[in-house]
Structure 1
């Protein structure tokens, strides 16, 4: 339905694009615009997650703090990224970290659009 609007998101992956299409099915055009306005401020670009994971070698847990996983961020910080093994795994899985975070943000954004009166 209003597919071209999703392509304006920087670094959108085909998996995220498909998820957004499914999640916004049944919304009006105005609701989709409002959703995109809210969601674009909350989502994380996979290339940004790669950068945060690299910086995580110097500031352990940074990538986890940024995506809202405070407990894991503290654990990584206190254990130096689980002796850097966890940081390396996050570096390899940066796209999955971003997608999982973005899935949660889609849900939050949809709840805001459906509950709020953004006319």
Structure 2
């Protein structure tokens, strides 16, 4: 089932994210799932891309935080040079966790949009 799932088309998907998506979308019919995937794919961050942004955080402090919607932390990192680069190093180590937490929020937002019927395709 893991190989035939439409979630496998998402770049850089981890088994943890795959399981979360499977459980979150269990009650959706085929059209709702298709709409969900369209919305979610546009909001989702790829963990493989986020490691690159975490490395770039040494040159543009706070970049990964801004991209993950954590504007306050991004400003703090920018002003303090990534909390003297300690925060930037922590972001580099925890990039998968940060990305997964962001993507969990995007799953929730995407499901809300689909369930509210605001999607007009």
Inter-partner Cα distance in structure 1 for 2:49 and 2:113: 25
Give secondary structure in 2 for the equivalent of 1:60: coil
**2:103 corresponds to which residue?**
102
Uncovered stretches (5+) of structure 2, i.e. residues with no partner: none
Uncovered stretches (5+) of structure 1, i.e. residues with no partner: none
Aligned length: 119
**1:5 corresponds to which residue?**
6
**1:76 corresponds to which residue?**
77
Inter-partner Cα distance in structure 2 for 1:15 and 1:86: 25
**1:88 corresponds to which residue?**
89
Inter-partner Cα distance in structure 2 for 1:89 and 1:58: 15
How far off its partner does 1:117 sit? 4.9
Q: 1:56-75 alignment to 2 at 5 Å?
A: 56-75=57-76
Aligned residues: CA RMSD: 1.5
Inter-partner Cα distance in structure 2 for 1:55 and 1:71: 18
Write out the 4+ residue segments of structure 1 that deviate beyond 3 Å after TM superposition.
none
How far off its partner does 1:116 sit? 1.6
Inter-partner Cα distance in structure 1 for 2:118 and 2:39: 13
Inter-partner Cα distance in structure 2 for 1:21 and 1:73: 31
Q: TM-score, normalised by structure 1?
A: 0.96
Inter-partner Cα distance in structure 2 for 1:32 and 1:4: 11
How far off its partner does 1:98 sit? 0.6
**1:23 corresponds to which residue?**
24
**1:33 corresponds to which residue?**
34
**2:43 corresponds to which residue?**
42
Q: TM-score, normalised by structure 2?
A: 0.94
How far off its partner does 1:110 sit? 0.2
